[in-house]
Chains A and B, each alone.
Chain A
Amino acid sequence: QQQVKQSPQSLIVQKGGISIINCAYENTAFDYFPWYQQFPGKGPALLIAIRPDVSEKKEGRFTISFNKSAKQFSLHIMDSQPGDSATYFCAAGDGGSQGNLIFGKGTKLSVKP
């Protein structure tokens, strides 16, 4: 029940296209859903996060869509660029657990020029 399932494992998108990564969770106590971007040799960097009180959050080219009833959330990268090529991790957190985050397995995104 603590798992966060992420798909796809890898994704290849043409420059200018839309990248979509999906995550699903089971624990209804989760109330915080961040996405992290990780480049090779670097630590994960917080990209964008959402809470269940909204269904969508947009920051620049990055959008999180959240479906509470389906217990799913997704990351959309509009106008994908080669510089977006990285591994993306979704995560879920329960404020009651002192900030612990459960991470998905990651999606390796390659944006082709």
Chain B
Amino acid sequence: SAVISQKPSRDICQRGTSLTIQCQVDSQVTMMFWYRQQPGQSLTLIATANQGSEATYESGFVIDKFPISRPNLTFSTLTVSNMSPEDSSIYLCSVATGTDTQYFGPGTRLTVL
């Protein structure tokens, strides 16, 4: 398995601002993903973070709102831009190590006022 850390663990932000969430893995991984989990709900894939190229976004998510970077095989960032209260969620990073198995980070709990 992989050890995944996320920063920040939680934040409270004002409407209209942006927050960048970091995901760090303790080993090189092939795939990195970003999910959103709204309170009491399931996990929804936002995008696949591709190393050295643009992220692949799922339907309903766009790069202008959720820009993603992945400069190397152990690190990725997700920015939530121009936030509104509807963006209040837990944002989760996950990694896959070459098989189907995905491991999740502890999540970032975002509250937008």
**Chain A residues at the B interface, C-beta cutoff of 8 Å:** 31-32, 34, 36, 41-46, 49, 89, 93, 95, 98-101, 103-106
Contact = CB atoms under 8 A, between A and B. Distances in A.
Interface size class of B (residues with CB under 8 A): 20 to 34
Given A99-B96, A105-B42, A106-B41, 6 more contacts: A43-B107, A46-B1, A46-B102, A49-B101, A99-B31, A103-B42
Contacts of B102: 34, 46, 99, 101
B62 interface: no
Interface of B: 1, 4, 30-31, 33, 41-45, 48, 92, 96, 100-107, 109
A46 to B, nearest CB: 6
A80 B48 CA distance: 36
Contacts of B44: 103
A53 B102 CA distance: 20
A34 B101 contact: yes
6 contacts: A43-B107, A46-B1, A46-B102, A98-B31, A99-B96, A106-B41
- DSSP class of B's interface residues: helix, strand, loop or mixed? strand
The 8 A-B pairs at the shortest CB distance, nearest first, are namely A43-B104, A32-B100, A99-B96, A103-B43, A105-B42, A43-B106, A43-B107, A44-B104
Contacts of A100: 33, 45, 48
A93 B106 contact: no
Contacts of A46: 1, 101-103
A106 B42 contact: yes
B42 A89 contact: yes
Contacts of A36: 104
Contacts of B41: 105-106
Contacts of B33: 99-100
